[in-house]
Amino acid sequence: MNFEELKEFLDFKAELYENSDFISSDPIQIPHSFSKKEDIEISAFLMATIAWGNRQMIIKNGKKLMQLMEHAPHQFVLDYTPRDLEFVHRTFNAVDLDFFLRALQHIYKNSDLEQTFTRQQPSDTIKDRIVHFRTTFLDLPHEKRSEKHLSNPLKNAACKRINMYLRWMVRPSQKGVDFGIWKSITPAELYLPLDVHTSRHARNLGLLTRKQDDWKALEEVMLHLRKLDANDPVKYDFALFGIGAFEQL
């Protein structure tokens, strides 16, 4: 496909899959059960954190987590005292959850999640924002094992789950999927939640040549996506993900 054909194809697929029907099979359905800004962003952050593996299992464990938090994530975080909540999703266990809740409490008692991602210089990139957030989040005492649940772009990680979380918070909500509740980051700044599925289809479409799924690969694919739509390049996440998830291509 030439540039015009590729853009037409990906625009069509993005439009096809970005709608409220997408929610029923996606972990984003968990934060969609809340209306309060802080409840949305906390539940979404935790869902993004455990968003690897089978999606139905992610959703099942996400519902269990919200039940543990008494379906009031913000209040639960503010009132939290360290204890064993008997939760596990793959390698994310009760030790990790305890630390994440303590770190979230520390953040909300000083500012909030949005400000923690955006309290930098205007020239900072999403990579800079992720690094700053990660440093702030890991400031409290914790076991080393918990750090693996927050990917580090300085170590060339693609940071799929954090980039997905930022997509959820930043992109407009008109189509009923993303929330658009953070106004201090623009959709133009966002990066693709790159994983094995989106990278495979990006390679098939000539958007990516690098073999590793890392931050360098992410920079490469974003160069192409920004040419297709400079204002909202990550809308193509719906196209690349949808092709794999719903068309089995």
Identify the DSSP state of 71: T
- pLDDT of res. 231: 97
Strand partners for 89:
92
Q: Is 86 exposed, middle or buried (0-12, 13-18, 19+ CB in 10 A)?
A: exposed
Contact 229, 207 (CB under 8 A): no
Mean confidence (pLDDT) of the chain: 94
- Amino acid identity for residue 54 in this structure: N
The type of residue at 62 is G
Calpha distance 98→102 (Å, rounded): 6
Q: How confident is the model at residue 155 (pLDDT cuts 50, 70, 90)?
A: very high
User: Stretch 168-189: mean pLDDT, rounded?
Assistant: 95
* Residue 149 in this model has a pLDDT that exceeds 80: yes
Give the pLDDT confidence score for residue 13 in this predicted structure. Answer: 95
pLDDT in tens, 156-171: 999 999 999 999 999 9
Q: How far apart are CA 144 and CA 28, in angstroms?
A: 28
- Residue 111 has φ and ψ, to the nearest 5°, of -160, -120
- Which range of residues forms the domain containing residue 163? 3-247
User: What domain count does the chain have?
Assistant: 1
